[in-house]
Structure 1
Amino acid sequence: MRVFVQVGGKASEKLKKLLLVLLMTLPGSPFVEHDSDIDRKEVHLELASSKILNTEKDTKKRHLARALFSSLSKSRAREEALLYGTFTFLPFHSSNSTVPLPPSVLAFLRSWGCVRFLVLLNIGPETRALDSGWASSLPEAGVFVASTGMDRLGATSLDKLELQPHEAIVIKLFEAEAYS
């Protein structure tokens, strides 16, 4: 299967990060074109006082983009489920909406043997909570591998998970009894 994604014009940082997570977790070999946010060259800081704050913000954005790319690349290189695993779309149901909304969350699994990764992308402008009965066949817990903000760490419970607007997360799932 080949998937080609090309974003024309100036794409927002949030869209770039969502697409990066999607490309690095879909089956096949991802091709990422050079982006100044992922550039490994040193950043030359401007000494003008009016530009120091903007330079610090830009440096932090570049650092987060590199961290996301690095985390996804390393996970894909060492995890067979992300490299060779089967791909399964999951229907998504949110618990925080009383009015039926068009689907704004893309959810899928990458599986290889007993190893499974849950990938969730919230492309909408609203926070979305997972419905407790959303995917009863999935384990209750997992550990964060990556998120677009690189601000999610450690173990998580799927029934307490909320997706922020324009956020993508990758979770390695585990069965509690498998590690007892």
Structure 2
Amino acid sequence: MNESPRRKELIRLAAQLFVQEGFDRTTVRMLAQEMGIKSGSLFHHFKDKQEILAAVIEEGTQNALIIAHQSIEQYPAEPEARLRAMARAHLETLFADRNAHVVALFEWRRLDPAASAHLSHLRDAYEALWVEVIDDALQAGLIHGDRFLVSRFILGALNWTVRWYDPNGPRTPDDLADELVGMIMAR
């Protein structure tokens, strides 16, 4: 994959447009105009609009994986700290790279089968990190419940913050992460 700074900027702008307009309503002409290039020049960087969508989701998911790994590596044997670190890392990626994550959450279904298959390994790797952390918390007795339901509940709650969270409000992302973990921990 071409990792040029220009391509990265095009991916960032495309993510913004996909959030504003939706993938289906965003045209190649709109993308080119937003990017300040001619429509034909867009194809120097991407094969088609579908490849742009895949690039947005891939970059956002890779960034989330990197941040999550770095966060939990600080707490190799502390289940509660790892759970809190994962929640904070998830919110950090949602708010730092909001557009890419909103696109991944709401436009994944627009990926063609080949792109979806290609990107599934990244999504699965990210979810596997969560399962590992949740398993550790379950085993330590910090939380209770079915692993699958607990993971869906946590990720659903964290992901939905992109709809209602106000970064200028009274709560920081760390406050949100701590509050969520506090709500699910066994007392």
| Same topology, TM > 0.5 | no
Q: TM-score, normalised by structure 1?
A: 0.31
Higher-RCO chain (CA-CA 8 Å, sequence separation at least 6): 2
Which protein is richer in helix relative to its size?
Answer: 2
